[in-house]
Amino acid sequence: MLRDHPEISARLAQPAPGLRVLEGHFNGSPLAVLLVEERPTGPMVTALVVHPASRNRGVGSTLLREACAWLPGLGWPDELARLARKAGL
């Protein structure tokens, strides 16, 4: 899933303090990964990747919605605003 995202693989190989990783799985296989960093304003999504075969099926919005339930006050960058609306956030 991260083959096309070496920058995220590098962040996972040497994680910054406070980095949180949330994974979405189906039948034991990873479908999506969401990275969250703690910022002075609260937790912030810094990356969201969904496996190409699972895109446009609600995987990203479900993972974002679950992350919000787990991390109150979670924020996300502007490029995820459409996905957040789709998730009802």
* Helix (H) or strand (E) segment spanning residue 20: strand 20-26
Let me know: does 35 contact 20? Beta carbons within 8 Å: yes
Tokens linked to 19: 């980095």
Task: Give pLDDT, residue 58.
Answer: 87
Output the pTM of the full model. 0.87
Task: Give pLDDT, residue 87.
Answer: 87
- Reported as a single tens digit per residue, the pLDDT across 14-32 is 888 889 999 988 888 889 9
Residue 58: CA count within 13 A, CB half-sphere: 6
The residues, any chain, with a CB within 8 Å of residue 67's CB and separated by 6 or more, are: 22, 34, 36, 45, 74
Residue 1 reports pLDDT greater than 80: no
Task: Give pLDDT, residue 54.
Answer: 86
